[in-house]
Chain A
Amino acid sequence: MITIRDTLTLSLTKLRTRKIRLIITVVVSGLLFTALIAGSLIFRGAFASIKSFGEEGLGKRFVVTGYDTSASSENLFAKPEILNRAREIQKDLIARKKAEAKKLNIEYSEQSEPPVINEYDTPNGKEQSVNGETSAGKQAIAEYLQKNPPRSSEDFKKLAEPYGAFATYSSRYAPYTREGSMQVLKDGKESYDLANNNTKQQYGPPRGVDSFLGSWSLMSADLLQPFAIKGQSLKSGNDGSIPVIIPVSAAEELLNLKALPGTASSADKLARTKELRQKATDVRFNVCHRNAASSALISNAISTQQEIERNKKNKDYVKPDLIYGLPKEPCTAAPVIRDVRSADQKKRDAKQEQFDQMFGQQAPSQSAISFRIVGLTPDYEFQSAIGIGQIIGSTVGSSIGTGWFTPLEESVKNPIIASYFDTNNTIGSGQIPTQYAEFHTSAQAKKFIDEKSCQPNYMNPEVQKDPFKECREKEQLYSLNAFGSNSLALDAAKKQFSKFFTIAALVVAAIGSIIMMGTVGRMIADSRRETAVFRAIGAKRMDIAQIYILYTFIVSLLISGFAVLGGVIAALVAQDRYADGLTVQALVAYNAQDLSRTFSLFQLYVPDILLLVGLSLGVSLISISIPLLRNVRRNPIRDMRDDT
Chain B
Amino acid sequence: MPKQIDKKIWAEQLLAAFDGNIDAAIDALRQAESAVKQARKPKVMPTGPVLVSVENLSKKYKVGRQHVQALNSVSLDIHEGEFVAFTGPSGSGKSTLLQLIGGLDKPSEGTITVDGKNLTKLSDRHLSKFRNQTIGFVFQFFYLQPFLRLETNLEVPGMFARTKRRERTQTAAELADAVGLKDRLRHLPKELSGGQMQRAAIARALLNRPKLILADEPTGNLDSTNGTAIIDLFEQVRKDFGTTIIIVTHDPKVAAHADREIVLEDGEIKL
Interface residues, chain A, with chain B CB atoms under 8 Å away: 1-3, 6, 9-10, 12-13, 16-17, 529-530, 533-541, 543, 635-637, 640, 644
Instruction: Tell whether, in the assembled complex, residue B159 and residue A6 are in contact, meaning their CB atoms are under 8 Å apart.
Output: yes
Instruction: Tell whether, in the assembled complex, residue A536 and residue B102 are in contact, meaning their CB atoms are under 8 Å apart.
Output: yes
Instruction: Tell whether, in the assembled complex, residue B140 and residue A644 are in contact, meaning their CB atoms are under 8 Å apart.
Output: yes
Residues of A within 8 A of B105 (CB): 635, 637
Cβ of B82 to closest chain A Cβ, rounded Å? 22
* Measured CA separation A121–B217 after assembly (Å): 93
Instruction: Tell whether, in the assembled complex, residue B124 and residue A534 are in contact, meaning their CB atoms are under 8 Å apart.
Output: no
Instruction: Tell whether, in the assembled complex, residue B131 and residue A534 are in contact, meaning their CB atoms are under 8 Å apart.
Output: no
Output the nearest chain B residue to A13 by Cβ-Cβ distance: B147
Instruction: Tell whether, in the assembled complex, residue A16 and residue B147 are in contact, meaning their CB atoms are under 8 Å apart.
Output: yes
Cβ of B137 to closest chain A Cβ, rounded Å? 5
Q: With an 8 A cutoff between CB atoms, is B87 at the interface? A: no
Residues of B within 8 A of A534 (CB): 156, 160
Residues of chain B in range 215-252 having any CB-CB distance to chain A below 8 Å: none
Partner of B141, one of A6, A13, A541, A644: A644
* Measured CA separation A534–B161 after assembly (Å): 12
Q: With an 8 A cutoff between CB atoms, is B90 at the interface? A: no
Instruction: Tell whether, in the assembled complex, residue A538 and residue B161 are in contact, meaning their CB atoms are under 8 Å apart.
Output: yes
Cβ of A186 to closest chain B Cβ, rounded Å? 78
Residues of B within 8 A of A529 (CB): 143
Interface residues, chain B, with chain A CB atoms under 8 Å away: 99, 102, 104-105, 124-125, 128-129, 131-133, 136-137, 139-141, 143, 145-148, 152, 156-157, 159-162, 204-205, 208
A2-B160, A534-B160 as given contacts; A637 in contact with B125, CB under 8 Å: no
Instruction: Tell whether, in the assembled complex, residue B141 and residue A539 are in contact, meaning their CB atoms are under 8 Å apart.
Output: no
Other than A537-B131, A539-B132, A635-B105, give 13 A-B pairs with Cβ distance below 8 A.
Answer: A9-B152, A13-B146, A13-B147, A530-B143, A533-B143, A534-B160, A535-B131, A537-B137, A537-B157, A539-B160, A543-B160, A637-B104, A637-B105
Output the nearest chain B residue to A543 by Cβ-Cβ distance: B160
Instruction: Tell whether, in the assembled complex, residue A536 and residue B124 are in contact, meaning their CB atoms are under 8 Å apart.
Output: no
Residues of A within 8 A of B156 (CB): 10, 534, 537
Instruction: Tell whether, in the assembled complex, residue A537 and residue B160 are in contact, meaning their CB atoms are under 8 Å apart.
Output: yes
A and B contact pairs by CB, cutoff 8 A, 25 listed: A1-B162, A2-B159, A3-B162, A6-B159, A9-B152, A9-B159, A12-B147, A13-B146, A13-B147, A13-B148, A530-B145, A536-B137, A537-B131, A537-B137, A537-B204, A537-B205, A538-B132, A538-B133, A540-B125, A540-B129, A541-B124, A635-B105, A636-B104, A637-B99, A637-B104
Output the nearest chain B residue to A538 by Cβ-Cβ distance: B132
Cβ of B14 to closest chain A Cβ, rounded Å? 48
Instruction: Tell whether, in the assembled complex, residue B157 and residue A538 are in contact, meaning their CB atoms are under 8 Å apart.
Output: yes
* Measured CA separation A530–B141 after assembly (Å): 12
Output the nearest chain A residue to B145 by Cβ-Cβ distance: A13
* Measured CA separation A9–B124 after assembly (Å): 24
* Measured CA separation A543–B152 after assembly (Å): 17
Instruction: Tell whether, in the assembled complex, residue A539 and residue B128 are in contact, meaning their CB atoms are under 8 Å apart.
Output: yes
Output the nearest chain B residue to A635 by Cβ-Cβ distance: B105
* Measured CA separation A9–B141 after assembly (Å): 23
* Measured CA separation A9–B159 after assembly (Å): 10
